[in-house]
Amino acid sequence: MPIKDLHHIAIKCTSDKLKESEDFYTDVLGMGLADRPDLGFPGAWLDMDGTMFHLMELDFPPEVDPWYARKESGSALDHVAVKAHNFDAFKAKAIEHGVDWRQNIIEGADLWQLFVMDPNGIIVELNFDIADEPKGSKGPDEGMRYPPMEE
């Protein structure tokens, strides 16, 4: 169940800085724009020779997501995403160690995702290419989210 490679880094942008940030990464650093599915909020995906930077124009209010109520979540670095293998084993390990975790399926990208939070409040997103997962893997539970959101 190895971590394989860096997949992407996600940077939170205020609405007035999204275009400026996109220009910085494309014009100054020379990254290319990549196709981005409709995720329900503005942003841009930037490609750096196969490694991605994701710009996100989104403020997560604590009442929508309890992870963002933590004092550690104020950083502009929202999360680091890595390529990984064996979703089921990583999920079991997260449960075994009692860490906060979430799961997701990105249908259009054929990815399973497992999110865990490090002690500093940085989310680590583990991306699993469904086609490369071991035969018989279960993957994310449909409609499930951990920890469950408070009502």
Backbone angles phi, psi at 110, to 5 degrees: 55, 45
SS3 139: coil
In the chain, beta strands by DSSP E: 3-13, 32-34, 43-48, 51-57, 77-84, 101-106, 111-117, 123-129
How does residue 120 score in pLDDT terms, banded at 50, 70 and 90?
A: low
pLDDT greater than 90 at residue 132: yes
Task: Confirm if 91 and 114 have CB atoms less than 8 A apart.
Answer: yes
CATH class of 3-132: alpha beta
Output the pLDDT for position 138.
94
Q: In the beta sheet, which residues pair with residue 47?
A: 32, 52
Nearest to 133 by CA among 102, 80, 91: 91
- Strand pairing class (77-84; 3-13): antiparallel
Output the pLDDT for position 4.
78
pTM of the predicted protein model: 0.61
Kindly report, residue by residue over 26-70, the tens digit of the pLDDT. Answer: 886 678 999 998 888 899 999 988 889 898 887 666 776 777 777
Q: Token digits for 102?
A: 């979430």
How does residue 143 score in pLDDT terms, banded at 50, 70 and 90?
A: low
**Percent share of the chain, pLDDT over 70:** 83
Backbone angles phi, psi at 22, to 5 degrees: -60, -45
Q: Which of 47-51, 105-109, 122-126 has the highest mean pLDDT?
A: 47-51
Range 87-93 average pLDDT? 91
Output the pLDDT for position 57.
85
